[in-house]
């Protein structure tokens, strides 16, 4: 009898240890702190590195996988204990479809959302930044606005041009819909040829992103959390 009780306690301890290791691994690999404290009043979603979509990136590339982000957003939306979401961005961009899909999910959430660009919000990172109900950028952070581009094999036919054109229209429409920038200004930034080395587009630093209406306010983590708490109280 005592042996059975002892074995039962050992099994339970091993299960608890295994569950704890799984949670630690999740935080390490995904940055998913919601597993450690799922009922925290404010949840933090970090989007860093390159946005990985349908193609798997090399293992040495720092990446945010969209199949990891989507379940987290759904869990946060349906958890009554979570009152707000802070999105922390430092991304070079990546898969357009995946980034735009995540952006639409964030925008459709019923709970207050605030984003903050802390290093860079480049390429598809722009709609990710504007997807929140209110956006911040730190003074030294940068945002690069440029047209949709593609590496690798491209079929040189008119249908390819139309495909890229429609994709660009989707991205532009989302940015204009979720920020205060005008379509004419956005297109002008995208087509500038003297801003970036060997590329078309514009780099906006800190306050420049606010002055053009792309981001709502310059600030840091303190300002972002204060704004999110304000939304929660309202």
pLDDT at position 25: 58
Q: pLDDT tens digits for 65-97?
A: 988 999 999 999 999 999 999 999 999 988 888
Mean pLDDT is highest, among 37-41, 58-62, 67-71, 218-222, for 218-222
CB 99 within 8 Å of CB 69: no
Q: What is the pLDDT of residue 166?
A: 82
> In angstroms, what CA-CA distances link 140 with 11, 94, 165, 229?
52, 22, 32, 24
Q: What fold does the segment set 42-233 form as a domain?
A: 2-enoyl-CoA Hydratase; Chain A, domain 1 (3.90.226)
The verdict on whether 110 is a catalytic residue reads no
Annotation marks residue 122 as catalytic = no
Check residue 1 and give its pLDDT. Answer: 54
- For residue 17, what pLDDT is reported? 55
Q: What is the pLDDT of residues 102-142, one digit of tens each?
A: 999 999 999 999 999 999 999 999 999 999 999 999 999 99
Instruction: Please determine, for residue 54, whether its predicted confidence score (pLDDT) is greater than 60.
Output: yes
Q: Which of 46, 103, 115, 123 is catalytic?
A: 123
Q: Model confidence at 21, in pLDDT bands (50, 70, 90)? A: low
In the structure, what pLDDT confidence band is assigned to residue 197 with cuts at 50, 70 and 90?
A: low
Q: Residue 191 pLDDT more than 60?
A: yes
Check residue 194 and give its pLDDT. 77
Of 180, 186, 182, nearest to 133 by C-alpha is 180
For 131-198, the DSSP string reads TSSEEEE-TT-EEEE------S----SHHHHHHHHHHHHHHHHHHHHHSS--HHHHHHHHH-SSSSTT
Quick check: 53 pLDDT over 70?
yes
Residue 224 has pLDDT above 70, yes or no: yes
């Amino acid at each position: 009898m005592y042996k059975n009780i002892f074995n039962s306690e050992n099994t339970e301890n091993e299960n608890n240890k295994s569950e704890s290791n799984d949670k630690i691994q999740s935080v390490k690999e995904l940055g998913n702190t919601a597993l450690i404290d799922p009922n925290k009043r404010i949840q933090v979603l970090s989007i860093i590195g390159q946005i990985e979509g349908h193609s798997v990136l090399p293992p040495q590339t720092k990446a945010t996988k969209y199949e990891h982000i989507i379940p987290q957003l759904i869990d946060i939306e349906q958890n009554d204990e979570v009152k707000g979401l802070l999105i922390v961005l430092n991304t070079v961009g990546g898969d357009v479809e995946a980034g735009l899909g995540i952006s639409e999910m964030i925008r459709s959430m019923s709970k207050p959302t605030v984003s903050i660009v802390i290093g860079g919000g480049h390429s598809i990172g722009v709609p990710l930044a504007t997807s929140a109900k209110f956006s911040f950028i730190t003074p030294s952070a940068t945002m690069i606005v440029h047209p949709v581009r593609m590496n690798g094999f491209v079929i040189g036919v008119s249908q390819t041009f139309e495909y890229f054109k429609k994709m660009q229209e989707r991205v532009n429409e989302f940015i204009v819909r979720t920020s205060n920038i005008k379509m004419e200004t956005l297109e002008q930034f995208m087509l500038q040829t003297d801003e970036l080395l060997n590329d078309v587009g514009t780099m906006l630093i800190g306050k420049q992103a606010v002055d053009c209406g792309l981001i709502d306010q310059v600030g840091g983590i303190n300002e972002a959390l204060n704004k999110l708490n304000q939304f929660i109280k309202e």
